[in-house]
Amino acid sequence: MDNKDTYLLNFKDYNFESSLVDADFIENLDDFEIRDDDVFIITYPKSGTIWTQQILSLIYFEGHRNRTEDLATLDRIPFLEYNIRKMDFLNRPSPRLFCSHLPYYLVPKGIRSKKAKIIYVYRNPKDVMTSYFHFSNLVVTLEAGNDMEHFMKRFLDGNVFSFGFVIRDLRSSVLKISRFLEKELSEEDVEAIVKQATFQNMKSDPKANYDEILKHEIGKRTDEGHFLRKGTVGDWKHHLTVEQNERFDKIFERNMKNLPLKFIWDLNKE
């Protein structure tokens, strides 16, 4: 492992958030036993991870859906590589739900052998970068983004830790995920999930967002700002100059030209 700086810990060419990761756990991650009914949300940071956590929590846990259980999303679906609450993963009852920012080559071999169910979440990288920029200026465990030009260079050079699915039709997304997970939901269940999984409802629900965790367990640079910011498509247009956007496009097309994914860059121009 290589401590590149105060904020990043490099292991096998991947940058971890150094203050939150357990190096011993990461070094032995390939031996982590995967169960057949485990479910993993795999995302790049700032790609809709918490949104997907909330949807899965509402699908799997009736007590969360009908608000009879008082448990935070992070306790229901913890991060595999960032065990902030020091949970006993091995003795968690099935089905175990996890989320992770790990790249494919670092996830436990049981996941690579398709033993568990995987929900891969991706988002257009310009909005990822924009969201990441604001987030880095909020959280004390990340190097501050300063201005967009400075942060964009770091982002494109890979000097950040670690693309999210864009939820346009919540009902459709809930139904697709529930079918993939083979979970039968009533019409009433679907409506309850859709209502509670709207971005604004999540933003105002301390159990669904990470504001309290950020404030008391991770640390904020300022009292202003929230873990969940906008949740919109195309916000990058308000932050990138014409020159920055053109430069980003050239690098993206050069490095990602064979990527078999369709990105939604702007809801008005699909």
Domains present along the chain, CATH in parentheses = 2-256 (3.40.50.300)
**99/152 Cα distance (integer angstroms):** 26
Q: What is the pLDDT of residue 100?
A: 92
* Beta strands across the sheet bearing 97-100: 97-100, 39-43, 117-121
Q: What is the pLDDT of residue 163?
A: 39
* Sign of the dihedral defined by the CA atoms of residues 102, 105, 109, 114, in that order: positive
**259/114 Cα distance (integer angstroms):** 21
**205/239 Cα distance (integer angstroms):** 28
13's tokens: 């060419």
Q: What's at 59, amino acid-wise?
A: I
> 171, 194 in Cβ contact below 8 A?
yes
Give the active site residues: 101
**What confidence tens digit (pLDDT) does each residue in 80-104 have?**
999 888 999 999 999 999 999 988 8
For residue 95, cis peptide bond before it (omega within 30 degrees of 0): yes
Q: What angle do CA 97, 75, 40 make, to 5 degrees?
A: 20
**SS3 of 268, please?**
coil
Q: Which contiguous run of DSSP H or E holds residue 134?
A: helix 125-136
**pLDDT tens over the chain, length 270 residues:** 555 567 888 888 888 888 888 888 988 988 899 998 999 998 888 888 888 998 999 999 888 888 888 788 888 999 999 988 899 999 999 999 999 998 888 888 888 777 888 888 888 889 999 988 888 888 777 778 778 998 998 888 877 765 334 445 667 778 888 888 888 889 999 999 989 888 888 788 777 777 777 676 676 666 666 777 777 788 899 889 999 999 999 988 888 877 777 888 887 654
pTM: 0.85
**164/173 Cα distance (integer angstroms):** 13
